[in-house]
Amino acid sequence: MTEKPHHSDPHSVSAFTLLPPQSAQTAVIFASPHSGAHYPESLQRRSVLNMMQLRSSEDAFVDRLLASAPRYGAAVIAAQYPRAWVDLNRAEDELDSALIAGLERSHPGPRVAAGLGVIPRVVSGGRAIYRGKIAQIEVAARLNHVWRPYHAALGNLLTQTHQRQGQAILIDVHSMPSEALDSLGARRPRIVLGDRYGASAARPLVAQIESVFAAEGLAVSRNTPFAGAYITQRYGRPRDNIHVVQIEIDRALYMDEERVEPSEDFRAFSALMERAIAQICAIGAQPMRMAAE
């Protein structure tokens, strides 16, 4: 049976859910900024896309893959609103003048120029979301209701964990469309670890995480084709013992991408993820300093 996303008024749902650890025994925090499925009615009315097309940029069910983490001592923070509404992996000033009415034209970075700013203009495949532009007041409301609360909570989690454990390790979990990997051929990874080429996390830590997934028989690559975006860049400070590793999971491992529903492999892959989560939490419980190389 196809799982339906939730529909709501723009501000009737909180920005995120937070699952606290059963016992705070690790420096690890798990986050899912793109698995939210609360699609406001106003978005559906104004979009030229159908719901399946809107959901193409959603990291569907990643929050469910992380649900076991509190049992192993890690908090989980997960967005409730979808990436098509607000992209939490963008800076709040990554604004798109091609989408936002009255916004002064600037020299946007490549992500904004591609329509992938903090308020996206397109979903995957470059398909436009809206018929026209949206008002600046609406952009401000989305940032105030979703972006700022999420990042305030994430920042607090990292600060509190660092104070308690002497280090903090954010595992920022995403999913990637199978088609994004097709061009890699025989080198096709099933898991991509992004640490911005060593800038957001200590290399020994990333190597340990890589070994966890490799031991499960999954092909793992680092930083290709995804090295991490705003969250890794903003929060990763390995010299201060605050590490951020982005994990991209091939959607074909656990879901039917066309129907946006769990596949028959979902239960087995959830069990694999629980084993990986337990081992990553154990790594984060080690009282060792992993300074940047």
Q: Each residue of 63-117: pLDDT tens digit?
A: 999 999 999 999 999 999 999 999 999 999 999 999 999 998 776 789 999 999 9
Does pLDDT of 288 surpass 60?
no
DSSP annotation string for 87-111: -TTS-TT---TTTBTTPPP----HH
Q: Which residue has the higher pLDDT, 76 or 179?
A: 76
What average pLDDT does the segment 135-154 reach? 97
pTM: 0.93
pLDDT confidence tier of residue 178, bands split at 50, 70 and 90: confident
Cβ–Cβ under 8 Å, residues 235 and 242: yes
pLDDT confidence tier of residue 12, bands split at 50, 70 and 90: confident
Cβ–Cβ under 8 Å, residues 248 and 226: yes
pLDDT confidence tier of residue 57, bands split at 50, 70 and 90: very high
Does pLDDT of 125 surpass 80?
yes
What average pLDDT does the segment 258-268 reach? 96
Cβ–Cβ under 8 Å, residues 18 and 76: yes
Return contacts of 154-161, CB within 8 angstroms, 24+ apart.
154/29, 154/31, 154/77, 154/231, 154/235, 155/235, 157/29, 157/75, 157/77, 158/29, 158/235, 158/242, 161/24, 161/27, 161/29, 161/75
Element housing 233 (H / E): helix 230-235
The pLDDT assigned to 64 comes to 98
44: exposed, middle or buried (Cβ count in 10 Å: 0-12, 13-18, 19+): middle
In a 3-state reduction of DSSP, which class is residue 113?
Answer: helix
The pLDDT assigned to 40 comes to 95
The pLDDT assigned to 1 comes to 40
Q: Which residues contact 263 (CB under 8 A, 6 or more apart)?
A: 254, 255, 256
According to CATH, the topology of domain 6-86+158-284 is Aminopeptidase (3.40.630)
